Structure 1
Amino acid sequence: MWALVVRILQVSSLPDYGPDNIARLVSHFTPETVAEAIDRNNMILAESNGRMLATASLGGTAADPQAYALRTFFVDPDAQGMGIGSRLLPQLEAHARDLGVTALPVRSSISGMPFYEARGFEVVDEVWDGDALTFQMSKTLI
């Protein structure tokens, strides 16, 4: 999964963020940090013929259901636009509802924002990390 995340950052996010920002992001996604995320989050994967195509997770704690957030939502560049993310997202939303989550936040890249907006998420804030712009988004779960 680590290799998938790195590939997506290096291919899909490069046009929006440039090589320096991508290198900084990639440094946060080591095999160890990805393994920790798997242990700590409710993660789902999509694969085909033994090839991992996408990952998405719901991170948070049962002690505070409103602290849950959508995390590590990545689709392989070769599989983007095939509906994989559109099939993963409702599964995470249903799980979040089961946990008592009423508003599901996500931090989106520039290229990911249209995907989330088309599925009912709204931008609540622009977040700058140096010269890298991301969007804090949220969707009300009913």
Structure 2
Amino acid sequence: MNIRRFREDDAGIVSELIIRTIRISNTKDYPEDLMEELVKTETPEKVTGRASWTHTYVVEDNGTIIATGAVGPYWGKLDESSLFTIFVLPEYQGKGVGRLIINTLENDEYALRAKRIEIPASITGLPFYRKMGYDFKDGNDQIDEEHLYRLEKFKPVEALVTERLYLRHWRESDAEAMYKYCQDPDVGPIAGWPPHKNIDESRYVIANVVNGKEAYAICLRETDDPIGCIELKLNGRSDMAFSDDECEMGYWLGKPFWGQGIMPEAGKELVRHGFEDLGMKRIWCGYYDGNIKSKRAQEKIGFIYQWTSESVDVPLMNETRRGFVSLITIEDYRKAKENEQSAE
């Protein structure tokens, strides 16, 4: 059994799967005439249309589609998501297929970025979704006008989202994407580390360097492939932070994406996260002499220059450099936020 993303040529089979499941399973809990009205709407065209604004998945058993489910934004919100159209063929129910779908949907981009996930649950599906940790929305255990229960689950945010970007934790499977950009001699050395020699080195870095609690792969929202990295180095992982309410920001970005405002966009979101979600009071950042792009990115994020250090050790490059240190405080952040709001 395997689960994969929906393809457009699956639409007919998925439509038939949904209709058959409704007629066999849901008619046990709903009037037959109501279910027949529902199946009229579950056409291949509707299935394809739904997949255009959700991430839809199918489960296969020996090449035959036996189940489906989808996840998407809750009314366009970045930090709330919904699960949709979860159906398992009757003969496969009770065999862990539904759990496989839920686990997959909850690990999708839309769910990882969400603080809250909602699901419209049928009478038939209610016991299963309750077992999966979903509770009645706002404590309301009554069926709504669509003959459904509204369930929800709150969860810690595992990803951060901006207008164009999706920041998530690194995975071992990202090694190839990391190597693609980190082998470039224009990316690492200017930040203080040598180009990666092979994919195994990138794999090591993912496991042992960018493994911090607040280390994120920078992805474009339309993909799940890393194009850069950004981290808030907490106390103990930084030589700038000396208390639990301060940290250091570090980052790099693949060369094809320079000059597009991506790092300021990612940096502003991580600064927001640091102050509003993590309770930081100070966030430090630095760059080496000659790294003008990093200097400009820090200024756009809101960092303020503090001092220059001569002869800074750069151990990975076996040399010393001139370094510049910048800082943004919680007071700086709040003032900038007030100015933005007043300008609106």
2:152 corresponds to which of 122, 129, 138: 138
Shift of 1:92: 1.1
Q: Which ranges in structure 2 are unaligned for 5 or more consecutive residues? A: 1-13, 157-344
Structure possessing the higher relative contact order (Cα contacts under 8 Å, 6 or more residues apart): 1
Q: Match for 2:114 among 101, 116, 122?
A: 101
Change in Cα spacing, 1:24 to 1:80, as seen in structure 2 (3 Å) is same
Aligned partners of 1:97 and 1:141 also within 8 Å = no
Query: Is 1:36 aligned to 2:49, yes or no?
Result: yes
Equivalent of residue 6 in structure 1, options 16, 19, 23? 19
Structure 1, unpaired ranges of 5+: none
Contact 1:12 1:77 in 2 (8 A): yes
Equivalent pair of 2:80/2:116 in contact (CA under 8 Å): no
Partner Cα separation in structure 2 for residue 69 and residue 27 of structure 1: 23
- Is the partner of 2:19 in helix, strand or coil? helix
- Compute the TM-score of the two structures, normalised by the length of structure 1: 0.89
- 1:64 Cα deviation (Å)? 1.9
> Structure 2 matches for 1:1-142, cutoff 5 A?
1-60=14-73, 64-95=77-108, 96-98=110-112, 100-124=113-137, 125=140, 126-129=142-145, 133-142=147-156
Residue 133 (structure 1) shift? 3.0
1:37 deviation in Å?
1.1
Pick which of 57-66 and 15-24 moved more: 57-66
Cα root mean square deviation, aligned: 1.8
Higher strand share: 1
State how far apart, in whole Å, the 1-side matches of 2:117 and 2:38 are: 23
2: distance between equivalents of 1:75 and 1:26? 15
Q: Report the number of matched residues.
A: 139
- Measured after TM superposition, the shift of residue 59 of structure 1 is 1.9
Structure whose alpha-carbon radius of gyration is higher: 2
What displacement does 1:60 show? 2.0
Q: CA–CA distance in 1 between the matches of 2:88 and 2:111? A: 23
Corresponding residue SS for 2:95 = coil
2:143 aligned counterpart, secondary structure: strand
Q: Percent identity?
A: 27
Q: 1:97: Cα distance to partner?
A: 4.0
Query: Are residues 111 and 63 of structure 1, via their aligned partners in 2, closer, same or farther at CA, if it must alter by over 3 Å?
Result: closer
Separation in 2, partners of 1:37, 1:45 = 13
Q: Distance in 2 between matches of 1:10 and 1:49?
A: 24
Measured against aligned partners, the alpha-carbon deviations of 1:68-89 in whole angstroms (never above 9, x if no partner) come to 2000111111100000111111
Separation (CA, whole Å) in 2 of partners of 1:50 and 1:81: 20
